[in-house]
């Protein structure tokens, strides 16, 4: 009788193996579909790599403690000088690397359904594939909408000849090497957007892309849901 029970248990264990395999495959497929079509960053981390959207979104950075004013501040690794020293933005004192710690870039979750039923809005943060290399993901802020003419002057943004209010105190200057035609204005076509980074002094964005200022809507992936 004992042998019969053991055989029964063995049979049940063998018979449940295909079901467990099917369950594992099903879970993997759901995770893959969710990551690919609904939310990126749930399975494979999506990490901010640079400082172009700081302080809203930060890449790898050193965090300093200023001995002069007793405040903490962060400087992106892509902005640090070779001596790893930084100036406190509050009081102007120098902080040495002995007071710093390194933090990884923010990890994002990306809502890929955000623009399925509506287009992006002005000043909305979006994630898209780089016009220079579609294998690279970028995160910037929508500034110009399809059909608009966008110009930059004196740190301000002009749309269709009118200066528009900015949600934060950022000077969007035309730097050396940027597209000079933005001084007069760039006409966006249907399905094209103009994007800028919050950390405007260092951001690679519509001002300096070799492909031109326009971002094709087909490159849009979604918007950040939040930082993990």
Question: What's the CATH class of domain 112-227?
Answer: mainly beta
Poorest-confidence range of 62-71, 77-86, 136-145? 77-86
* Residue 125 region by backbone torsions, left for phi larger than 0, else alpha for psi between -120 and 50, else beta: beta
pLDDT in tens, 145-178: 999 999 999 999 999 999 999 988 899 999 999 9
Q: What pLDDT shows up at residue 5?
A: 45
Confidence label for 99 from pLDDT (cuts 50, 70 and 90):
low
pTM score of the predicted model: 0.76
Backbone angles phi, psi at 156, to 5 degrees: -100, 165
The dihedral through the CA atoms of 84, 88, 94, 97 has a sign that is negative
Task: Report domain extents, the chain.
Answer: 2-40, 61-103, 112-227
pLDDT in tens, 26-62: 333 333 344 444 566 566 668 888 889 988 888 888 7
């Amino acid at each position: 009788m004992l042998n019969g029970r053991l055989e029964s248990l063995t049979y049940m264990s063998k018979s449940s193996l295909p079901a467990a395999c099917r369950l594992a495959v099903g879970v993997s497929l759901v995770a893959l579909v969710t990551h690919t079509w609904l939310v990126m960053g749930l399975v494979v981390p999506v990490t901010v790599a640079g400082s172009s959207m700081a302080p809203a979104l930060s890449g790898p950075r050193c965090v300093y403690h200023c001995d002069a004013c007793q405040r903490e501040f962060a400087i992106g690794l892509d902005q640090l000088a070779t001596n790893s020293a930084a100036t406190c933005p509050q009081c102007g004192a120098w902080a040495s690397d002995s007071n710093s710690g390194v933090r990884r870039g923010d990890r994002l979750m990306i809502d890929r359904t955000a623009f399925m039923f509506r287009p992006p809005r002005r000043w909305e943060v979006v994630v898209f594939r780089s016009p220079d290399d579609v294998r690279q993901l970028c995160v910037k802020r929508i500034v110009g909408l399809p059909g608009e003419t966008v110009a930059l002057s004196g740190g301000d943004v002009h749309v269709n000849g009118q200066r528009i209010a900015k949600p934060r105190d950022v000077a969007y200057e035309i730097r050396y090497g940027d597209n000079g035609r933005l001084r007069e204005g760039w006409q966006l076509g249907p399905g094209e957007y103009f994007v800028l980074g919050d950390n405007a002094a260092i951001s690679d964005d519509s001002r300096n892309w070799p492909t031109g200022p326009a971002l094709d809507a087909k490159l849009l992936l979604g918007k950040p849901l939040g930082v993990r």
